[in-house]
Structure 1
Amino acid sequence: MKRIAVVYGTRPESIKLAPVIMELKKLPNIEVLVVVTAQHREMLDMMNRIFGITPDVDFDLMRERQSLEDLSSRALKRLSSLYEEVEPDVVMVQGDTTTAFISALAAFYKRIPVAHVEAGLRTNDKYSPFPEEINRRLISHLATFHFAPTAKAAENLAREGITENVWITGNTVVDALLWMTREKRAELDTAFSKFLPNFNCGSRVLLLTMHRRENWGEPMKKALKAIRQVVEKEDDLLMVYPVHPNPVVKKIAFEVLKGVPNIVLTDPLDYLTLIAVMSRSCAILTDSGGIQEEAPSFGVPVLVLRETTERPELIENGFGKLVGTDPVRITEELKKLLRGEFSPEGKGNPFGDGKASKRIVEALVSHFR
C-alpha cells in the first residue's frame, strides 16, 4: 500500500486536483491523504462540497490580511510535522500557489518525492505573476515527477535542465469542467437563472474576474475605470464581476464599479454558477489562469488583463489577446470584441481532452511497480 498526500489550499488547486483524487481513489493499492491548508477558506470549502471530497487533514491557516511570510512560515511548520507523522510515499501539489511551494519545500526537507501537477508554466518574468512565477520555478527543481499540461510547458522544463520523469498530460481543469457538465448537468441548467432571475434573454453577458496581486492598486483601478466607461454605454450588455474576497481587491472594485446599472458585483460564485455564466458569456476579461484554460471549451473569447501569460496556447490558438491593464488597450480591444470584430479562431481546447488525470495516475503508479 502506497500513501500519497495531496496538498492544496485554494479553489483553483481544488478544482484541478479533484479529478486526480477521484482517479487515485479508484485504486485499491493506493491510500490518498487529502490535506488542505485553507489558504482560501470559503472558496475552498465550496469546491470540496461540489466534488464530494472530505479532507483528511485541515490546517485552517487562513488569517485576515495575512502576509506571504506569515502564511509560509506557519504552513512549513505544520506540513513538516504532518509529513513526519504520516510518512507519505509521495506528496502531490498543483500549480504555483504559496501552499504548493511550501508543501513541496517541506517534502524536500524530508526527502519525500514531490509530484507536480501543471508543471512547466512560465512567463519568464519573476514578478509576473507574483509570487507564482518564482513559486513554480522552485517547485520544478524540488519535484521528482513533472506533469506538464502542454508540449510548451515540457519544453520550458527542458530548457531548465529538467528532462527526466516529465509527462505531457493535458490540463486537469478540462477534466474537471467535463466532469461538471456531465455529472451536474441539471444543476448547471438552473444555476444561471437562480443567479440572475431577471435576466433579459436578449442581452449579452460579459464576465470579468480580476484579483492578481501584481494588479493591485493603480493598475487595477485604471483597468476597471476603462472597462466601466465601455460597459455603461452598452444598453444590451450585463457585466458580471465575482469579486475576490481579498480586502484590497474588494475596496477597489466597489469604489470604481458600484452603482452602474448594468454591472453586477457579487461575492465569488460557486463553480457551478461560474461555469453557467462563463458558458453564456459573449466574452471574458480576466487575469485568472484557470479561466484562460476553461474558456476555450465554450468557444468564448478572452481578453487577458496581464502583460504576460504562462498560457501562450490561448493566444496562439486564436482564443484570446493580451491587453494588460493599459486603459487605451483595454478600451480598444473590448470595443472590437463587443462589435464582433474578434471571435475565437481555434478549434477544440488546446489545454486538454479530459483525460489528463488518468495519464497522471497511470504515470505515477507505474513508478511504484
Structure 2
Amino acid sequence: MLAGRLHVRNRRFALETVPVPAPGRRQVRIKVAAAGVCLSDVHLIDGTLTPRLLPGDVVTLGHEIAGTIDALGEDVDDWKPGQRVLLQAGERDRRGTVYTRGVDYDGGWAEYALASEQTLVAIPDDLPFEQACIIPDAVSTPWAAVTATARTAPGEAVGVWGVGGLGAHAVQLLRLVGAAPVIAVDPLPAARQRALTLGADAALDPGDPGFRDALLGLTGGGLEVAFDFAGVPAVRDQALTLLARKGRLVLAGIANRPVTIGSDAPFNYLQQSVLGHYGSDPEHVEQLVALARQRRLDLAPSISGVLPLAEAEQAVRRLQTKQGDPIRLILRP
C-alpha cells in the first residue's frame, strides 16, 4: 500500500510502498477514507517537533483519520467490518503515558491504518469522512480548551488570537457554549473575515493602533478568557494586558518560549491566571460527534481542499506557506 512516511533522523518525507498491516489482538484495520493535514505534521517534517516515544526512526504521519473497518484482530467483539468510524488521535497506556498517532506510532496518511479497538468512535452515515476525520484534534483540541481548561461560561467575554486550523473552530464552539462577545484577533484580513463568517461578534487586527480601545469598548473592561491559538510570544504579552478580574489566558498554541508576566502586583490583585492546554480526551471527541449528529456543528466550511494521498507533499507545502489560507486540507487515499 502507499503511505506517507517520515524518516525522523534526516526529516525526509516520502510516499513509499509498504506492506498492508495485519491487525493484532484487540486491533482493527481501517480502510482510510480521509486524513487531515495538521500544522503539527508540518512541524514534524521541518524539525520543529520530534517524536518522543517512537521506537524506531520512521513513522507514517497523520493523526486525523476516518474510514471504514476492513478487518478485525483477535478478541474484537464490538465492531464489524464496514462500520464507519473515526480514530482518536492517540491513546494512553496503563501508566497514563499518551502516545500520539502519526507521531509515536504509525498514523493514517496511508491506504490502511491499524487502531486499538478502544480508539474507535462510530460516526453517523450522513457525516462525511472529510469532516469526521478532523474532529480529533482540529475540533476537539479547541473544544477541550473552551469547555475543560477555560471552563468558559455563557455570557463571558472571550478573545481568540489566531483564526487558523484551531482558532477558526474555537470561534464556532465558543458561540455554541454561549460566550459573548466572541472577539477574533488576527493580523490577516482573510482570517478576520472568516471569523466573522463563522460567528465572531467582532474581528480585530492586533497591530491596529486602536486595537486596545476597541477591545475594551466591546467587552466593557476586559476579557474573561483569552485564547492563544497562534503560539506567538507577542500574543501572550498582548492578551495578558487585556484580562478582566479573574481573567484566564489559555495557552493552546506552543511557542517554546517563556511566558512573562509584566508585574505580579496587578496579576495577583486581579486574581488572573495562565492555563496550559494540550489536546483533548476521548470524551471530547465523542461529544463533538454527538453535536454533529444533532446538526449543532457544521464542519463543511473547514474543508479547504481535498487532495489524493499521492499529493501529500503538495498539501504540506500549501499548509506551510498558507496558500489559500486553509483551515484544513484533507488527503484521500
Q: Same fold (TM over 0.5)?
A: no
Larger relative contact order (C-alpha < 8 A, sep ≥ 6)? 2
Shorter-chain TM-score bucket reads 0.3 to 0.5
Please give the TM-score of this superposition, normalised by the length of structure 2: 0.32
In proportion to residue count, which structure has more strand?
2
